[in-house]
Amino acid sequence: MPSLQTLPATADTEDILRVINADGAVILQNVLQADEIEQFRREMDPFMEATAAGQDDFSGQATTRTGALVARSAKAREMLLNTTVVSAAEAFLAPYCKRIQVHLTQIIRLKPGQGKQMIHRDRWAWGQYLQNVEPQFNTIWAISDFTAENGATQVVPGSTNWPDDRTATEAEICQAEMSAGSVLLYTGSVFHGGGENRANADRIGVNLTYTLGWLRQEENQYLSCPPEIAKSFSSELQDLLGYTMGQYALGYYTPPAAPGAQPECVTPAHAVREVAGDAMGGAALLAAGRQKT
């Protein structure tokens, strides 16, 4: 039976990527403390409790999925900016982009009676159009204990290079059992799925994922966290949400205003903070995007 490796919360990027590149997933132990989990629950439980269950088998008819975490929760913002996780995400995605961005923020609550989710790849959010590119780096933060009984995430270690039509056998699947406060890191290419909740209590996890700065996000951060909310955040978080250029000439806009009242072709950062410099992303981004001939 395969299993996932567990590293301490203080693990460095090199150790994390060594395991990720081999298995496609790794667990970081006890990243959040009990009081931090309590804060997140205070901020998000009202939204989670008001969320309806899914309408199909994949989303889970006994599963709730609550989003817009950056706009709603100060603790979620801290989690999203965790330096260990972000450093690993940036290093993992660096071969394919100049900048990374938030792809999804979501509480996934498996209620008692929820069956196993279909084993899948998260990269299928973009269909199967991307080849030879790893498009995302994902996390699931355990807000409750993840056990085999309550639906700990199913993972197929070593499946990142499988063809899309390969079906995992039961003997190739393990579960990400971990204590509350721990975090599962996994790639967009590893096969995985929610587990079956045979317990009498909810299994609660927070899915925070990162993707290449030039791809469309699964959760539209500009609508989930619009400028009037995002402008109060740090520039680091604003950029991570996508309020920056994904690459030279990718993401600029023109403020819809009276003639001459606003500049033309400004970066998304213009919507949330004062910005000086090249509106089209700068010479460094242009150079990084050029094809070698």
pLDDT exceeds 60 at position 286: no
Distances (CA, A) of 155 to 50, 146, 181, 200: 29, 13, 19, 23
pLDDT exceeds 50 at position 162: yes
Distance of CA 154 to the CA centre of its chain: 17
pLDDT of amino acid 262: 87
pLDDT of amino acid 287: 56
Of the candidates 155, 196, 127, the residue with the CA atom closest to the CA atom of residue 26: 155
Q: Stretch 59-67: mean pLDDT, rounded?
A: 97
Superfamily of domain 6-212: q2cbj1_9rhob like domain (2.60.120.620)
Residue with the two structure tokens 């604003």: 238
Token pair listed for 223: 């609508």
pLDDT-based confidence at residue 1 (cuts at 50, 70, 90): confident
Separation CA 209–CA 106 (nearest Å): 9
Separation CA 220–CA 212 (nearest Å): 14
pLDDT of amino acid 284: 56
pLDDT-based confidence at residue 291 (cuts at 50, 70, 90): very low
The model's pLDDT over 83-103, given as tens digits with 9 standing for 90+, comes to: 999 999 999 999 999 999 999
Count of Cβ atoms closer than 10 Å to residue 228 Cβ: 10
The residues spanned by each domain of the chain are 6-212, 246-293
Token pair listed for 202: 């909810």
Distances (CA, A) of 80 to 17, 196, 249, 289: 18, 27, 26, 27
Q: Stretch 256-278: mean pLDDT, rounded?
A: 87
The model's pLDDT over 105-133, given as tens digits with 9 standing for 90+, comes to: 999 999 999 999 999 999 999 999 988 89
pLDDT of amino acid 224: 97
The model's pLDDT over 237-261, given as tens digits with 9 standing for 90+, comes to: 999 999 999 988 899 999 998 998 8
The per-residue pLDDT of the chain, averaged, comes to 94
Q: Using the 8-state DSSP alphabet, how is residue 143 labeled?
A: S
The model carries a pTM of 0.93
Q: Stretch 46-53: mean pLDDT, rounded?
A: 98
User: 3-class SS at 206?
Assistant: strand
pLDDT of amino acid 157: 98
